[in-house]
Amino acid sequence: PIFAVRKLLAKTGTALNDYDLVEMNEAFAAQCLADGRELGLDWDKVNVNGGAIALGHPIGCSGARVLVTLIYALRHRGLNRGLATLCLGGGEAVAMAIELET
């Protein structure tokens, strides 16, 4: 989701450092590593409870799983800004920024 993340950062005027946690849906570990390296992600902030390989990659509801996992990870740690990413296959992807109310 490299291009989706970059587009989101440009639209929101934010940088990756502005996000407390990143939840990246990784259907394949190699894809997650390549995207993370290209984006310069802080691995301590990525998939802090495990990603799709550990938690599951449910067909048709990966987006819900990623978003709910991110929300609860932020709440559990007392943080408020998160970035969720999802590859859609065929080179397409989405990225979403969330901010919890404190």
Q: What is the CATH number of the domain that holds 87?
A: 3.40.47.10
- Give the dihedral sign, CA 39/77/81/15: negative
- pLDDT value at residue 26: 78
pLDDT at 27: 73
Taking residue 52's Cβ as centre, other Cβ atoms within 10 Å add up to: 23
Number of domains comprising the chain: 1
Percent of the chain, pLDDT > 90? Answer: 68
- For 3, 20, 76, 80, the CA distances from 29, given in Å and listed in that order, are 18, 22, 25, 27
The range of the structural domain enclosing residue 88 comes to 2-99
| pTM: predicted TM-score of the whole model, two decimal places | 0.91
pLDDT one-digit tens code per residue, 17-54: 999 999 998 777 888 899 999 999 999 999 999 887 77
Q: Which helix (H) or strand (E) holds 70?
A: helix 62-77
